[in-house]
Amino acid sequence: MVITLDPELEVALMESARRQGIAPEVLALNVLRERFLSPALLEPCDEWERGLRALAKDCGVSLSNEALSREELYE
């Protein structure tokens, strides 16, 4: 499949890809995957999963093992 972008969309895609440090093609594929594949994969199967997802919060990034070491905790 070949997708033709208008100049405005092409510039926006290239600029966003440059800021993220990835190729425009990779960014376009990532966005398409998120848009068309993610919801089906993340749909809860039962009431327990729905409840668990309702409790979930985005807490940002996780710390590395080194950051949680005894030496790093006291610095």
Q: What is the pLDDT of residue 16?
A: 94
Domain that holds residue 41: 1-54
Which one-letter DSSP state was computed for residue 66? Answer: T
Q: Is residue 70 situated within a structural domain?
A: no
The residues of the chain scoring below 50 in pLDDT are: none
Q: Is residue 65 situated within a structural domain?
A: no
Q: Is residue 59 situated within a structural domain?
A: no
Q: Is residue 60 situated within a structural domain?
A: no
CB atoms within 10 A of CB 34: 10
Q: Is residue 74 situated within a structural domain?
A: no
Domains: count for the chain: 1
Under 8 Å between Cβ of 72 and 66: yes
Q: Is residue 20 situated within a structural domain?
A: yes
Q: What is the pLDDT of residue 41?
A: 64
Q: What is the pLDDT of residue 28?
A: 94
